[in-house]
């Protein structure tokens, strides 16, 4: 959306000031509004059709209103828990996911998930909002998780995710001294037939690319920063193990648990274009305590 176009949330409606709408030959201003919504604002065709069919588009003078915020109830049972909100507006939510918390229920256990905690956030506020997660993190990986707070944002952010336009940067402690010349791992990843929980580098797997930057080196470990260009399950863990540097604490892929009981992997930052304004949003997530303690131990062992 052009930054010159002003917008404001009014209850369940988004009010826009699109400027002068030029009607087609038949002079139909509503048709001009549809064209503007499709070509300028970039409303996804599926949502545009729904809004048009359900009376969700209104013209009043130079104002255009879209019914983008209908009340919606979360499918997840609210579970009150301390939740760190890293970013929020009418369209997007980014929260910190702690280690040991799943993004959403999977039927394997009954412990509260991030989805339950997010549901509780809006239940406590008495807001009928049911955010949808745009990406996932492993249960024992901490970091920021992006949510869409309405259908418009959900469709736009899903599109951005499929086009690899959502940037995710991670930090990890790995075994061994990583050669600084290791800057990219481009190896396909598939399922491990011999271990249900594992993935592995496989010629028949899906393409997977991880960019690597060595940040610090210790006596027998390294701190690396990583950028995902694809989002395969366990991608960083598989790629670093394949490179001979499994993550500390990651016993599934060969990492030692002597200093930390879970994989030493944290999502440091998340970047995405705002679904309405197009503005680039950068969200950082501070290291959890366990990562800071581990770094202190590794620095101490180096001296």
Query: 3-state SS of the chain: helix, strand, coil percent to 5?
Result: 25, 30, 50
What would the two tokens of residue 241 be?
Answer: 């193990």
- What is the C-alpha to C-alpha distance for residues 208 and 187, in angstroms, rounded to an integer? 6
Q: Is the dihedral of CA 151, 156, 157, 163 positive or negative?
A: positive
- Is the distance from CB of 99 to CB of 264 less than 8 angstroms? no
109 is catalytic: no
- What is the C-alpha to C-alpha distance for residues 294 and 173, in angstroms, rounded to an integer? 8
3-class SS of residue 290: helix
Q: Is the dihedral of CA 229, 230, 234, 235 positive or negative?
A: negative
Helix axes 151-162, 45-53, angle to 10 degrees: 160
- What is the C-alpha to C-alpha distance for residues 277 and 64, in angstroms, rounded to an integer? 16
- DSSP letter at 126 equals T
What would the two tokens of residue 128 be?
Answer: 């009928």
- Is the distance from CB of 42 to CB of 156 less than 8 angstroms? yes
Q: Is the dihedral of CA 297, 300, 301, 302 positive or negative?
A: positive
Q: How many CA atoms, within 13 angstroms, populate the side-chain half-sphere of residue 228?
A: 32
Measure the CA dihedral 195/197/198/199, to 10°.
Answer: 110
The active-site residue, picked from 62, 90, 138, 251, is 138
- What is the C-alpha to C-alpha distance for residues 72 and 75, in angstroms, rounded to an integer? 9
- Is the distance from CB of 152 to CB of 89 less than 8 angstroms? no
Enzyme catalytic residues = 138
């Amino acid at each position: 959306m052009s930054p010159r176009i002003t917008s404001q949330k009014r209850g369940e409606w988004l009010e826009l000031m699109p400027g002068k709408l030029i009607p087609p030959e038949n002079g139909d201003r509503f048709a001009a509004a549809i064209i503007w919504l499709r070509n300028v604002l970039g409303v996804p065709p599926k949502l545009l059709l729904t809004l048009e069919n359900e009376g969700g588009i209104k013209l009043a003078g130079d104002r255009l209103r879209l019914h983008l915020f209908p009340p919606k109830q979360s499918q997840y049972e609210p579970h009150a828990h301390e939740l760190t909100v890293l970013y929020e507006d009418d369209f997007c939510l980014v929260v910190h996911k702690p280690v040991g918390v799943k993004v959403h229920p999977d039927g394997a256990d009954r412990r509260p998930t991030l989805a339950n905690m997010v549901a509780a956030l809006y239940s406590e506020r008495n807001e009928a909002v049911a955010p949808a997660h745009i990406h996932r993190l492993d249960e024992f990986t901490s970091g920021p998780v992006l949510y869409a707070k309405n259908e418009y944002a959900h469709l736009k952010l899903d599109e951005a995710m499929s086009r690899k336009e959502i940037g995710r940067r991670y930090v990890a402690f790995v075994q061994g001294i990583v050669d600084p010349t290791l800057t990219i791992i481009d190896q396909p990843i598939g399922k491990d037939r011999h271990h249900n929980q594992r993935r592995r580098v496989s010629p028949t797997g899906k393409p997977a690319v991880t960019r690597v930057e060595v940040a610090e080196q210790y006596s027998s470990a390294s701190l690396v920063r990583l950028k995902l260009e694809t989002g395969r399950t366990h991608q960083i863990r598989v790629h670093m193990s394949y490179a001979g540097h499994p993550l500390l604490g990651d016993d599934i892929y060969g990492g030692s648990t002597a200093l930390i009981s879970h994989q030493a992997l944290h999502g440091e930052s998340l970047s995405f274009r705002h679904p309405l304004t197009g503005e680039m949003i950068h969200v950082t997530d501070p290291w959890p305590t366990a990562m800071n303690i581990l770094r202190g131990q590794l620095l101490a062992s180096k001296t």
